[in-house]
Amino acid sequence: MLARPRRNRVSDTIREMVKETTLRTSNLIYPLFLVDGEQIKSEVKSLPGNYRWSLDLLIPEIQECINLGLNSFILFPSVDDSFKNSTATYSYNDKNFYLNAIRVIKENYPNICLISDVAMDPYSSDGHDGFVRDGEILNDETLPILGKMAVAQAEAGIDIVGPSDMMDGRVEFIRKELDEEGFKNVGIMSYTAKYASAFYGPFRDALDSAPKEGDKKTYQMNPSNSLEAVREAQLDESEGADYLMVKPALNYLDIIQLLKQNSNLPVAAYHVSGECAMLTAACENGWLEYEKAMPETLLSIKRAGADIILTYFAKDYAKLLKEGKITL
């Protein structure tokens, strides 16, 4: 007998009925760039449609996102060089504008989920995620700095800390520090499989956080490896991570699926700046249709196994959903 799978595609209603993957705004986290000052909305030229915000303008932007159904945000600071040093002490200074922003945002919107970035590179004069001495990124010496940073963010009101540094043992160290300070309900979204990728350029432009010397290949993962990601996931889970992240997303759909198959923890995927910029450029040149290509791209990440997607397209996706141009 001739098999006819096309019978399940004959109408919109039937196609919707048998649809296997859906992507809701509750699955999305919107990355936001923060700068010190007032009345600042500065576009990141290499990532069109995304801005460095001062807090006073970021507050209404978050409200606009909430009105669209977005309730989860990850916050990244763009720090002036005058506050940077080799040990990133400004990261846990009580006068840090980033910590103040966390307090103010959570006071205004207590029900949103706010996620932080835990790594030295925004605050380091070396531009690396860890402490540098004589050209070497020192793992164990970095951990206390990350611990202080995470605790300071928890004190400010953060819901989930996001260690993006890829230092060995940092999840266990941060979990212990948070628990000892009474922050047992603050979650850890670990950047579990963060690859040494060529797709981070616009993000580093936004934060001016590129390494001053060398690269990040001694701590970020080799793009050739997949089993290493499973090992990292097992370690993070055993150390107390609440979420596992794969970064980037599109070139690592196989890694997303691999972690989903090998862990019961929620898997997040970071649809990174270069991936978003690439699609935006193609659409601006008329080579692709944004309102179709963008949702299809995000759906592919969800279909691969991601429970959560961090993407610079989150707001645009929410708009299309509200306008009825996307169906769940």
- Catalogue the active-site residues: 194, 247
* Residue 295 CB neighbours (<10 A): 18
**Which of 105, 116, 196, 203 has its CA nearest to residue 153?**
116
3-state secondary structure of 13: helix
Name the token pair of 61. 């932007």
b/e per residue 106-125 (b: at least 16 CB within 10 A):
beebeebebbbbbbbbbbbe
Name the token pair of 285. 């040149």
The DSSP line for 114-163 is EE--B-STTTBTT--SSEEETTEEEHHHHHHHHHHHHHHHHHHT-SEE-B
Alpha-carbon distance of 188 to 169, in angstroms, equals 13
Alpha-carbon distance of 192 to 35, in angstroms, equals 27
In DSSP terms, 28 is beta-bridged to 309
Residue 172 sits at the vertex; the CA angle it makes with 169 and 175, to the nearest 5 degrees, is 145
